[in-house]
Structure 1
Amino acid sequence: MQPEHANIAGNVHGGEIMKMMDNASGIAAMRHCRSSVVTARVDSLEFHLPIHIGNYVKCICQVTFVGISSIEVLATVMVEDLRFDEPPKVALTGYFTFVALDKNGKPVAVPPLKLVNEEEEKLFEEGKQRYLARKSTRENVGEDYCPPEDNKII
């Protein structure tokens, strides 16, 4: 990470890392569906460790769930201080959901996810539960939803 990614204390801005996660997750989603994708949602973005100027970071992405046109990707950011002989550590994790689009910008069906082991089956089931919970919330909110008075945008 470079100085332009950080604040004056030398901590990398969370938004810089989130941008990297979104880009890497988008690539994983595109590799799965072989079409354009757009970010639809970010869930459970968790900051585990700070990242500093000079740290080496990498983002590991795994498609965990697919719906009809949506693709959920788990992004894990690893951080390593190259000055020390220590293994990389998990700095951030988050789930990014994308919608696959055809060349006219309309949602398009994505291929099913091939699950090869128990861990992938577990991640898929967890993703399915998140998907169903979001779907239920959208259906229950309806079009005439109005946020509470204290949440108004000023």
Structure 2
Amino acid sequence: MEAISSDVSRTIQSHLVLPPDTNHMGTIFGGTVLAYVDEIAAIAAMKHSRKVVVTASIDSVNFLSSAKVGDILTLEAFVISTGRTSMEVFVKVESENLETATKTLTTTSILTMVAKGSNGGPIPVPGVLPETVEERALLKTAEVRKQRRLEMRNSKA
């Protein structure tokens, strides 16, 4: 299967942080951010594979700062590496204060999604061609993350 550009999977979404999304301190719930992260990762993986996908793992989630009521969250996701049927997806979340136009990186995450065929089983996906310096750096560290996932899976067996 031929590799395709990471730009094929690039997906951007925006969300307004509303009061029901926040805790008693007026900052967004981590679970709400995780739901957004999982959704955009799935969309990016589906755009790359042109198949239905499921979340196999969330390798890392780094909550770096908070977003407050009235901020706009912008999420960006793209496929950074692939296996035979799996895709690693990088997601970054940025908050923007509307009054000051200040943008802050709030969250980064790496998820593994698996493409599924019509019979529900895993199905091969195309490789990925990184386009930016950031994408190439993430691809270089993909094998280390894959080995860590395999070690964790095997230690639980």
Q: TM-score range by the shorter chain?
A: 0.7 to 0.9
C-alpha RMSD of the superposition = 1.5
Percent of paired sites with the same residue: 30
Distance 2:88 2:149 in 1: 13
Q: TM-score normalized by structure 2?
A: 0.83
Q: Which runs of 4+ in 1 moved over 3 A?
A: 116-119
Distance 1:142 1:78 in 2: 35
Q: TM-score normalized by structure 1?
A: 0.85
Is the alpha carbon distance of 1:53 and 1:116 closer, same or farther for their aligned partners in structure 2, counting shifts above 3 Å? closer
Unaligned 5+ runs, structure 2? 1-16
Distance 1:61 1:44 in 2: 14
Q: Number of residue pairs matched? A: 141
Determine which structure has more spread, i.e. the larger CA radius of gyration: 1
1:84 to 100, 106, 126: 100
Asked if 1:129 corresponds to 2:129, the answer is no
Q: Paired residue for 1:2?
A: 18
Unaligned 5+ runs, structure 1? 144-154
Is the alpha carbon distance of 1:121 and 1:84 closer, same or farther for their aligned partners in structure 2, counting shifts above 3 Å? closer
Q: Paired residue for 1:29?
A: 45
Q: How far 1:125 sits from its partner (Å)?
A: 2.0
Larger strand percent: 2
Distance 1:99 1:132 in 2: 17
Asked if 1:105 corresponds to 2:105, the answer is no
Is the alpha carbon distance of 1:117 and 1:78 closer, same or farther for their aligned partners in structure 2, counting shifts above 3 Å? closer
Q: Which moved more, 1:53-62 or 1:124-133?
A: 124-133
Is the alpha carbon distance of 1:110 and 1:8 closer, same or farther for their aligned partners in structure 2, counting shifts above 3 Å? same
SS in 1 for 2:59: strand
2:113 counterpart letter in structure 1: F
